[in-house]
A and B are shown apart, each in its own frame.
Chain A
Amino acid sequence: MGNQGLLQHLANGISLGSLYALIAIGYTMVYGILRLINFAHGDIFMLGIYITYYGILFTSIPWWIVFILASVLTGLIGLLLEKVAYRPLRESPRITILISAIGASFFLQNFGIVVFGGRPKAFPIPNVFNKVIKLGGVSISLITFIIPLVTLLLLLGLTYFITKTKTGMAMRALSKDYETASLMGIDINRIISITFFIGSFLAAVGGIMWGIRYPQLMPLMGVMPGLKCFIAAVIGGIGNITGAVLGGFILGLGEIMLIALLPKLTGYRDAFAFILLIVILLIKPTGLMGEKITEKV
Chain B
Amino acid sequence: MKRKLWLLLLVLALAVSTLAGCSQSEETGGSSDADVIKIGVFEPMTGANAAGGEMTVEGIELANEIKGEILGKKVELVIVDNKSDKVEAANAASRLIEKDEVVAIIGSYGSSLSMAAGDIVNKGQVPAVGCSPTNPLVTLNNDYYFRVCFIDPFQGTVMANYAFNELGAKKAAIIQDVTQDYSVGLSKYFVDAFKELTGDEDSIVEISSYNTGDQDFTAQLTNVKGKNPDVIFAPGNYGESALLIKQARDLGMDTPILGGDTWEAPELVEIGGDSVEGTVFSTHFTAEAPVTDVSGVFLEEYKEKYNKEANAFAALGYDAYMVILDAIEKADSTDPKVIRDKIAETTEFMGATGIITLDENGDAVKSAVIKKVVDGEFEYLTTVEPN
Q: Which residues of A contact B210 (CB under 8 A)?
A: 266, 269
Q: How far is the CA of A267 from the CA of B243 in the complex (A)?
A: 18
On whether the beta carbons of A5 and B226 are closer than 8 Å, the reply is yes
Instruction: Pick the residue among B211, B218, B252 that contacts A270 (CB under 8 A).
Output: B211
- CB pair B219 A118 closer than 8 Å: no
CA–CA, A134 and B250, complex, Å: 10
Query: Which of B50, B209, B213 is close to A224, meaning CB atoms less than 8 Å apart?
Result: B213
Q: Which of B28-45 contact A (CB under 8 A)?
A: 45
Q: How far apart sit A165 and B301, CA to CA, in the bound complex (Å)?
A: 66
The minimal Cβ–Cβ distance linking B176 to chain A, given in whole angstroms, is 10
Q: Which among B7, B17, B51, B210 has the greatest number of chain A C-beta atoms within 10 A?
A: B17
Given the complex, which residues of B lie within 8 Å of A257, measured CB to CB?
219
Residues 178-200 of chain A, each 1 if its beta carbon lies under 8 Å from chain B, else 0: 00000000000000000000000
Query: How many residue pairs between the two chains, A and B, have CB atoms under 8 Å in the bound complex?
Result: 130
A12 in complex: contacting residue of B3, B51, B218, B270, CB < 8 Å? B218
Contacts known (A15-B218, A119-B51, A260-B223); A107 close to B252, Cβ less than 8 A: no
Say yes or no: is B21 at the interface (Cβ < 8 Å to chain A).
Answer: yes
- Nearest B residue (CB) for A122: B270
Interface residues of B, dominant DSSP: helix
A106-B18, A110-B17 are known contacts. Are A216 and B239 too (CB-CB below 8 A)? yes
| Number of B residues with CB within 8 Å of any CB on chain A | 46
Q: Are A214 and B243 in contact (CB under 8 A)?
A: yes
Cross-chain contact B214 with A269 (CB below 8 angstroms): yes
Q: Are B219 and A114 closer than 8 Å at their CB atoms?
A: no
Is B47 an interface residue, CB under 8 A from the partner? yes
Q: How far is the CA of A107 from the CA of B81 in the complex (A)?
A: 18
Indicate with 1 or 0, residue by residue over B211-242, a CB within 8 angstroms of chain A CB atoms. 10111101110110110000000000001001
Q: By the criterion CB–CB under 8 Å, are A214 and B250 in contact?
A: no
Q: Which residues of A contact B220 (CB under 8 A)?
A: 259, 263, 266
Contact of A132 with B17 in the complex, beta carbons under 8 Å: no
A157 within 8 A of B: no
Given contacts A16-B216, A139-B252, contact A107 B10 (CB under 8 A): yes
Tell me if A103 and B6 are in contact (CB < 8 A).
Answer: no
With A263-B223, A270-B211: A141-B239 Cβ-Cβ less than 8 Å: no
Cα–Cα distance between A219 and B81 once the two chains are bound (Å):
15
Assess whether A215 is interfacial by the CB under 8 Å rule.
yes
Provide the bound-state CA to CA distance between A271 and B118, in Å.
Answer: 28
Q: How far is the CB of B177 from chain A (nearest CB, A)?
A: 10
B338: Cβ under 8 A from any A Cβ? no
With A220-B47, A263-B208 known as contacts, the answer to whether A8 contacts B222 (CB < 8 A) is yes
Chain A residue numbers with a CB within 8 Å of B17 are 107, 110-111, 113-114
CA separation between A256 and B21, bound complex, in Å?
A: 34
What's the least CB distance linking A270 to chain B, in Å?
7
Tell me which residues across on chain A come within 8 A of B71, comparing CB atoms: none
Distance, CA A85 to CA B11, complexed state (A): 10
Query: What residue of chain A has the Cβ atom nearest to residue B249's Cβ?
Result: A132
Contact of A134 among B48, B214, B222, B252 (CB under 8 A): B252
Q: How many A residues, CB 8 Å from partner?
A: 47
- Asked whether any CB of chain B lies closer than 8 Å to the CB of A84, the reply is yes
Q: B10–A266 contact, CB under 8 A?
A: no
* Distance between B28 CB and nearest chain A CB, rounded to angstroms: 21
Tell me, rounded to whole Å, the shortest Cβ–Cβ distance linking A39 to chain B.
Answer: 14
The reply to whether B218 and A119 form a contact with Cβ atoms under 8 Å apart is no
Closest chain A CB from B240 CB (angstroms)? 8
B218 touches A256 (CB 8 A): yes
Please tell me if the beta carbons of B271 and A267 are within 8 angstroms of each other in the complex: no
Cα of A174 to Cα of B273 in the assembled complex, Å: 48
Partner of A118, one of B6, B50, B178, B271: B50
Is A9 interfacial (CB 8 A cutoff)? yes
How far does the alpha carbon of A44 sit from the alpha carbon of B267 in the complex, in Å?
24
Given A110-B18, A111-B17, A113-B21, decide whether A12 and B213 contact each other with a Cβ distance below 8 A.
Answer: no
A-B contact pairs, 25 of them (CB 8 A): A1-B223, A5-B226, A8-B222, A12-B216, A13-B219, A84-B10, A110-B14, A110-B18, A118-B45, A118-B47, A120-B51, A120-B267, A122-B273, A132-B250, A214-B215, A214-B243, A215-B273, A218-B48, A218-B50, A257-B219, A258-B219, A263-B220, A266-B220, A269-B210, A270-B211
A8-B222, A106-B14, A141-B250 given. 17 additional CB < 8 A pairs? A5-B225, A103-B10, A110-B14, A114-B17, A114-B20, A118-B46, A118-B54, A119-B267, A132-B250, A214-B215, A214-B216, A215-B243, A220-B46, A256-B218, A260-B219, A263-B209, A263-B223
What are the 10 closest A-B residue pairs judged by CB atoms, nearest first? A118-B46, A259-B219, A12-B218, A139-B252, A122-B270, A118-B50, A110-B17, A214-B215, A110-B21, A122-B271
